Amino acid sequence: MHRGHNLTKYMAYDPTDRKSIEVRAKALVGKSLRQALEGLSVVHEYHGRGAFGLFLESFYFGIHPGNSSEPDFKEAGVELKSFPLKRSKKGLVAKERISLGMIDYMSMPSETWETSSFLKKNSDLLLIGFLHESDQDFLDYLVKIAELWEFPPEDIEIIKEDWKKIVAKVRVGKAHELSEGDTLYLGACTKGADSTGRRPQPNSKEMAKPRALCLKQAYVNAIIGRTLDGAEAVVKDIGQLKKSASFEELVAARFERFKDKPIDEIHTMLGLGLVTPKPSKDHYAKLARLMMGVKGKKIEEFEKAGVVMKTIRLEQDGKPKESMSFPAFKYKELVKETWDDSTFKDMLERRFFFVVYQRDEKGELRFKKVKFWTIPTHDLEVEVGSVWEETVQRIRAGKADKLPGQKENLVAHVRPHARNSRDTDEAPDGKRLVKKCFWLNREYVGKTLI
């Protein structure tokens, strides 16, 4: 087998120079590895999920970084990260997160942000995005993106907050409770082929799932420019972040002056007209964005973090008006998933931002509070996981018309989510049934807001 270090003349670039590395990378755009290495006979034994990246390192760049704590291009201070892209209605988007190295639960607690292995290795990234085609050999994947990425100062501040939140859990023996929903840009994603694998952690006898630090999928899409068209930042000046304890506290502070104010008064404070008798479906979300200081429909930091904003209206008794719905699923696609890789689990592992309104004793709607929220690990894995598994089993058994109801679980249930009775989807047994989705129970949502 040929090795990368034997390809120096063929490569003709300087791995110690950032500009030379970037030029070499950009020469790949629009080509496959096979095309880029045309004329070079390469025999390889690379297979599996990481084959493209390993081959890229060895045969295109001629480096063998292995599991070193140093960046791949040590002298240039650049870490190489390749990642798959997929086609969507919006164009090419990231197929998955970008992993930035395994978390060592035993050594991480002794690190500070400034001395962290994460910062040392991942300050500057060379991102290579390739179009993943399931029916192609990885050597024929077309490279679409090749960019040197330096984190903007305001993003670094949020990533530092994220890193500290992850470390804080590990230090107190709660690595088994880590969730991607704990953080905004930098996540602690599960890692390993076997979902049952566990690792020891400090200050606890509880074994924890193997996890890696990763850039969340939403952040990767922001990097490649697929989510930020028309987005407006909450933080207009990095000084605002440095004066606040955290980004989330900065956001919450924006809402303080509106607390307990009726909607009409909030309109006046924001310079808006009178509230219409039947406001649009998006009205209360738009109002929340304006209270936050954002005029457009997209919040840059939320787009980068994949934060889901939900407006919730409480009745006079403090209970939500309704359960919380999620997008309708397709019966045939749902039964092909596993719980760990399921679409619904991915949705619930995100960070949520609740904007809460409540009716007073006169029935007038007032703004009450905001809350960032992540579903607790037990509720997700045990309660919601069991509803998901039961749903899949019933659909496979031809019982898609009798899915878990609200009385069967304390956290979640399944029920119709369709425009009308004609809005249907085909089940695996060929029957057409009204579209359904997963819901978080009304009572459960109410408890999360306390």
List, for residues 309-356, the tens digit of each pLDDT value. 999 999 999 999 899 999 999 999 999 999 998 999 999 999 999 999
Backbone angles phi and psi of 80, in degrees to 5: -90, 125
Q: Kind and range of the H or E element at 292?
A: helix 283-292
CB atoms within 10 A of CB 297: 12
Closest CA to 370 of 298, 448, 304, 316: 448
Q: Average pLDDT over the chain, rounded to whole?
A: 91
pLDDT at residue number 362: 93
pLDDT at residue number 44: 63
Give the residue ranges of DSSP H helices in 212-282.
217-223, 238-243, 247-254, 263-269
Give the model's confidence band at 68: pLDDT under 50 very low, under 70 low, under 90 confident, else very high.
confident
pLDDT at residue number 53: 92
Backbone angles phi and psi of 196, in degrees to 5: -90, -5
CB atoms within 10 A of CB 264: 14
Q: What is the pTM of this model?
A: 0.90
CB proximity list for 272: less than 8 A, separation 6 or greater: 290
Per-residue DSSP letter, 312: E
Q: Kind and range of the H or E element at 305?
A: helix 300-305
CATH 3.40.50.1100 for domain 4-223, yes or no, is no
- Rounded distance, CA 233 to CA 301, Å? 6
Residue type, 446: G
CB atoms within 10 A of CB 303: 21
R_g of the chain, CA atoms, integer Å: 24
Backbone angles phi and psi of 147, in degrees to 5: -140, 140
Q: Kind and range of the H or E element at 158?
A: helix 153-171
Closest CA to 309 of 328, 329, 279, 287: 287
CA dihedral 63, 69, 74, 77 (to 10 degrees): 120
Domains 4-223 and 231-448 belong to one CATH topology: yes
Q: What is the pLDDT of residues 72-128, one digit of tens each?
A: 999 999 999 999 999 988 789 999 999 999 999 999 999 999 999 999 999 999 999
Strand partners, 355: 311, 370
Q: Kind and range of the H or E element at 79?
A: strand 79-88
The encoded tokens of residue 345 equal 């689990």
- Rounded distance, CA 370 to CA 356, Å? 6
Give the residue ranges of DSSP H helices in 362-412.
377-378, 385-396
CATH 3.40.600.10 for domain 231-448, yes or no, is yes
Number of helices (H), then strands (E), belonging to the chain: the values are 17, 19
Residue boundaries of the structural domains of the chain? 4-223, 231-448
Q: What is the pLDDT of residues 367-405, one digit of tens each?
A: 999 999 999 999 999 999 999 999 999 999 999 999 999
Give the model's confidence band at 237: pLDDT under 50 very low, under 70 low, under 90 confident, else very high.
confident
Transcribe 326-366 into DSSP letters. -PPBPHHHHTT--STT-HHHHHHTS-EEEEEEEE-TTS-EE
Closest CA to 79 of 213, 180, 193: 213
- Rounded distance, CA 261 to CA 360, Å? 11
Mean pLDDT of 237-252: 87
CB atoms within 10 A of CB 14: 15
pLDDT at position 193 over 70: no
pLDDT at residue number 41: 60
